Structure 1
Amino acid sequence: MKQNKFSIFHFKPYIEQAIHELGFYEPTEIQKKMIPNILRGESAVGQSQTGTGKTHAYLLPILQSVNPELNEVQAVITAPTRELANQIYHEILKITKFYEEQTINARCFIGGTDKKRAIEKLKKQPHIVVGTPGRINDLINEQALFVHTSKILVVDEADLMLDMGFLFDVDQIAGRMPQDLQILVFSATIPEKLKPFLKKYMENPKYEHVQPKHISAENIDHILVPLRSREKIDLLHEMLLAYNPYLAIVFTNTKTMADEVANELIEKGIKVGRLHGDLTPRERTKVMKQIRNLEYQYIVATDLAARGIDIEGVSHVINYELPQDLDFYVHRAGRTARAGHSGITATIYEPSDEDALTRLEKMGIDFENMDLQKGNWLLIPERNKRKNRKKQTDDIQEKARSLVKKPKKVKPGYKKKINQQVEQMKKRERRLQKRKG
């Protein structure tokens, strides 16, 4: 039997048992880099793309450090969305259920839930607090939650926290905690506006950046589908039926468009879930439960679901619209092909998307060009083939001119020589392409 590679961290037996039961065998790169720092009690910033195992990079060492005999808050974990906070909380429960000697008490506090009930639960302080910054801050101000005993503060998805305006609340929470606080910040990106917060609370933190080997996972196929003269909603409907996914997320840029697309798909007889910021907390909780229970094969969502929500089993991502911030293309695509599985990210595009697609290609996205005809997927020529061919010809002609020495007086055979040189170079290029093929 192979030795589990997490054994290098010397976790408590119940954590090692949980790791084995969860099917973890080898730490991810961010876990290899961050876990030793956290176990040493150092503040650290972990930057890596979505789906790289950031959550367990801090959960495992935090659980290692918790002393169940102390009935006080020992770690506070903040997350930008209710769904992400809930997911982190449930990951904690998956590990602590293996601890049979004593109970490790974790609580999740999020907006949109009954605050009085939350205060009732805090008659006994939990060891670990997970939640959204606004609700945690509320409970501190109500003098129901006491975080002055906590040695660790986690700021998860920090860049999204900044975007959503929650950094003020995180700042307030950190201000109530001890001076020798261990702060752990995890983020896909580290924007300039986040740096003052890091500087305020973190003196010489360990900074671990896992460069993506590829801008998106290797096992994702990136497909481009031209709209041409079709109705967009009709093409989307045909694509969903042709793919017959295990679970597909259709991304739109606005809540209004998400509702519009969802309603039109429902009219066409497809059962669709929707996820966006206008849903009430109760509605969002209900949708997430239905998704987990596999009641939906299709979800229409805004970028709320691209970051901050982890939906298991997504086999297909479809961009009904390309995101305005192209980094979100990568976040959207990252919803599929997780945990070693493969996935498909398909984008419906129009001529007006050309500039964005070119920029994505420069970022390292390698697209396949396909079209759906009578329910069948067909490979089609790349959308800018003619433009590329013209550029290649121009390059060859330029090179040929440099090889054929131009006489001081242009003689009649000069053009002929250039044309001959161009033909020879084209033949070489074709032979080279054939060999590559």
Structure 2
Amino acid sequence: MKTAFDRLNIKPFLLNAMIEQGFKKPTDIQERVVPGILNGYDIIGQSQTGSGKTLAFLLPVLNKINTEKNEIQAIITAPTRELAQQIFDEYEKLSEYFPEDEFIRAKTVVGGTDRKRMADRLKNAPHLIIGTPGRIKDLVNNEGINIFTATTLVVDEADQMLDMGFIEDVDQVAARMATEIQMLVFSATIPEKLQPLLKKYMNNPRHVHVSPEQATAKEIKHVLIPLKHKDKIKTLIEVAKAYNPYLCLIFVNTKKTADEVADAMLAEGMNAERLHGDVPPRERKNIMKRVQKAEFQYVVATDLAARGIDIKGVSHIINFELPSDLDYYIHRTGRTGRAGMTGIAATITEPSDQLAIQKLQQRKIPFVQEELKNGEWKEMPLRTKKASVQKGSSGVGVQKPKKVKPGYKKKMAEEKRRLEKRQYRNKK
């Protein structure tokens, strides 16, 4: 029977795995990058969280592996051990459908594991390595593994790699691979500082950019909650309690704020946990396991700690602060309203947020404004004040033209006509 996945031209067992897992058709990013990867092109893929990006590179990478060769053929790098484990989990789901004579072996290589024990596990070379670039580099440098046979390198969440200082590790891993490699880079944004790595290893890459349509999906309700000179943390607690979510992610911009918010919620007896870069890796792994088991109702997180981590069952998102990079708004809110479920993305706003909200509205995000009155949500007219200063083409702030009073233009036109008549008489 023909399916929508047939046009991807992947092996029958991978095709069967997708159908058996209940996937009806390829997502936009899968449709657009899988054929290019199978044809050997270098790819730069940009898409939002929840777009099916992981399978977009995992399916063709697995498809290209030759199981008759007992050597490492592909490496997938991720910035955090949690994201690497998430990719490995997707591999394991697919591996249930591998035929015995075409079984593709994969191993994770991440920090927090004894190096010698890990090197022993890798003596029987897997076909695929999924891990963090620092630990892969460490094992290669200490001759724990040989990767000179690997011809495909995936760099997932590349901009996050850059933010966390891992791009040099990626470079060193790539340098130890085969002479000619196919590089597949997936990133929400492509910062200028990423360009040297791309130019060094990529050959005329195909750039695929999938617009963040999910931000405007009907499944997500985007709510603005004005602060109105109240205490912000108290307002957040009030809002969070009123929503009484199944699972709510609360986004903040700094580790310090994450701790302040989480501590305040715990003091109120709320079932909350924090997730940020200063939480030790082992503890973070334990938190993620407990989150997946729905042991917490609220998780306070920074963008770098939470981005790329797939947390199922998120019913609500609350932005305690808007991110300075508005692309992160798309990533945050894209974690709810998934798989046909509905979700609420609420943002506590201050007057200083007006310009950012206008920019998000220009991206077709359908905001509504609500206030909590006597324990009930009331929709209010959405009024966003226009900023008094806007940037000119040079990037320098320029004053907006003032509003013209009614009748002013008519008065000026009459004055102009009188002046023209006077000049005409004088000429005569």
The residue correspondences of 1:358-369 to structure 2 (distance < 5 A) are 358-369=358-369
Aligned position for 2:4: 5
Aligned position for 2:370: 370
CA distance in 2, matches of 1:353, 1:331: 18
Aligned position for 1:60: 59
Change (3 A) 1:351 1:133: same
The residue correspondences of 1:74-223 to structure 2 (distance < 5 A) are 74-102=73-101, 103-213=103-213, 216-223=216-223
TM-superposed deviation, 1:13: 2.5
Listed one character per residue, the Cα deviations across residues 351-372 of structure 1 (whole Å, up to 9, x for unaligned) are: 2333333333344433211001
Greater CA drift, 159-168 or 99-108: 99-108
Instruction: Tell me if structure 2 keeps the 8 A contact 1:217–1:334.
Output: no
Whether 2:55 is the aligned partner of 1:48: answer no
CA distance in 2, matches of 1:155, 1:385: 41
Change (3 A) 1:189 1:385: closer
Whether 2:300 is the aligned partner of 1:288: answer no
Change (3 A) 1:409 1:330: closer
Q: SS of the counterpart of 1:242?
A: helix
Whether 2:327 is the aligned partner of 1:327: answer yes
Listed one character per residue, the Cα deviations across residues 5-36 of structure 1 (whole Å, up to 9, x for unaligned) are: 00122322221221012221111111111111
Greater CA drift, 203-212 or 288-297: 203-212
Change (3 A) 1:214 1:101: closer
TM-superposed deviation, 1:123: 1.5
Aligned position for 1:28: 27
CA distance in 2, matches of 1:386, 1:35: 43
CA distance in 2, matches of 1:312, 1:396: 53
Q: Which amino acid aligns with 2:211?
A: Q
CA distance in 2, matches of 1:386, 1:195: 36
CA distance in 2, matches of 1:386, 1:14: 56
Q: SS of the counterpart of 2:100?
A: coil
Q: Which amino acid aligns with 2:414?
A: P
Q: SS of the counterpart of 1:406?
A: helix
Q: Which amino acid aligns with 1:351?
A: P
CA distance in 2, matches of 1:402, 1:175: 69
Q: Which amino acid aligns with 2:204?
A: N
Whether 2:407 is the aligned partner of 1:407: answer no
Aligned position for 1:72: 71
Instruction: Tell me if structure 2 keeps the 8 A contact 1:238–1:375.
Output: no
CA distance in 2, matches of 1:232, 1:110: 38
Among all aligned residue pairs of Structure 1 and Structure 2, give the percentage whose two residues are the same amino acid: 51
Equivalent pairs, count: 404
The residue correspondences of 1:266-277 to structure 2 (distance < 5 A) are 266-277=266-277
Q: SS of the counterpart of 1:41?
A: coil
TM-superposed deviation, 1:215: 5.3
Aligned position for 1:224: 224
Change (3 A) 1:387 1:192: closer
Unaligned residue ranges in structure 1 (runs of 5+): 389-393, 412-437
CA distance in 2, matches of 1:214, 1:300: 22
Change (3 A) 1:320 1:397: same
Greater CA drift, 2-11 or 50-59: 2-11
Instruction: Tell me if structure 2 keeps the 8 A contact 1:271–1:296.
Output: yes
CA distance in 2, matches of 1:341, 1:305: 24
TM-superposed deviation, 1:244: 1.8
Listed one character per residue, the Cα deviations across residues 265-298 of structure 1 (whole Å, up to 9, x for unaligned) are: 1111111122111111110110110011111121
CA distance in 1, matches of 2:212, 2:123: 45
Aligned position for 1:338: 338
CA distance in 2, matches of 1:214, 1:98: 30
CA distance in 2, matches of 1:255, 1:89: 28
